[in-house]
Structure 1
């Protein structure tokens, strides 16, 4: 773990709001010169605090109007079942997030689809045919109130 001061936290908040900012823009936002901001950003990257920057796409505008959270319980336990399932599920492009969880289900997936009939096709032809799948439960997202809360 790295010790963060108030300037580091301000830099992280600025980059969390807009990952496309350059060091000059970050410096202006937090009251640092461009070289000082660059050094701090570089230190945060080298320490692994900043693991990367990503582009945020509007799924609905790209034609993916439905997001479904799917709980998956595997039929059999064991290392081979987990690895086989993980390899297969990560190969499905509509599956955006794969989380191995504790609780009623073994995995939680975030799946995007064009509409409900498209999701049904993905569920029946891709998810339900994965190795080791025993039971699934789907929850269609109605709205999203908060996405990626700031951690700093």
Structure 2
């Protein structure tokens, strides 16, 4: 684990808000030179604290108006390998996130669809036909708030 000072934490908060900011702008906001800000960012990347920078896509603007979280329990764990299931589920483009979890379900999936009719098609033709699928519970996303996480 890397030791973070207040400046590192402020830098992480700023990058969490907008990862497109350059080292010069970040440095000016934090009272650092551009090279000093860049060295801090590089140190955080090398330590694995910063694992990448991603863009946020507006799914509705691309025609994906529905997001559904699926809790999925495998029916026969012994007969179907987890690797086979994971390989098959990650090949479905509408499945954005696959999480192997502990609890009532074995997996939690984040699925995007154009509308509920499209989601039903994805569920029936792609997800329910995956190897070993048993119980499925769907939760439709109504709204989402972005929380930057424990950087304080």
Range of TM-score over shorter length: over 0.9
1:51-70 aligned at under 5 Å gives the runs 51-70=51-70
1: distance between equivalents of 2:139 and 2:38?
43
1: distance between equivalents of 2:78 and 2:19?
39
Alignment-derived partner of residue 83 in structure 1: 83
Work out whether 1:149 is the aligned partner of 2:122.
no
TM-score (normalizing by structure 1): 0.95
Q: Please provide the CA RMSD for this pair.
A: 1.3
Q: Is the 8 A contact 2:17 2:148 kept in 1?
A: no
2: distance between equivalents of 1:94 and 1:110?
8
Alignment-derived partner of residue 16 in structure 2: 16
**Alignment gaps of 5+ in structure 2:** none
- In the alignment of these two chains, the number of paired residues is 151
Alignment-derived partner of residue 44 in structure 2: 44
**Alignment gaps of 5+ in structure 1:** none
Query: Deviations along 1:105-143, whole A, 9 cap, x unmatched?
Result: 000000000000000000001100111101111011111
Moved more, 74-83 or 118-127: 74-83
Q: Is the 8 A contact 1:14 1:29 kept in 2?
A: no
Q: Is the 8 A contact 2:23 2:35 kept in 1?
A: yes
TM-score (normalizing by structure 2): 0.95
2:36 aligned counterpart, secondary structure = helix
- Dislocated runs of 4+, deviation >3 Å: none
Query: Deviations along 1:48-74, whole A, 9 cap, x unmatched?
Result: 000000000111111000000001000
1: distance between equivalents of 2:59 and 2:41?
30
1:43 aligned counterpart, secondary structure = helix
Q: Is the 8 A contact 1:71 1:106 kept in 2?
A: yes
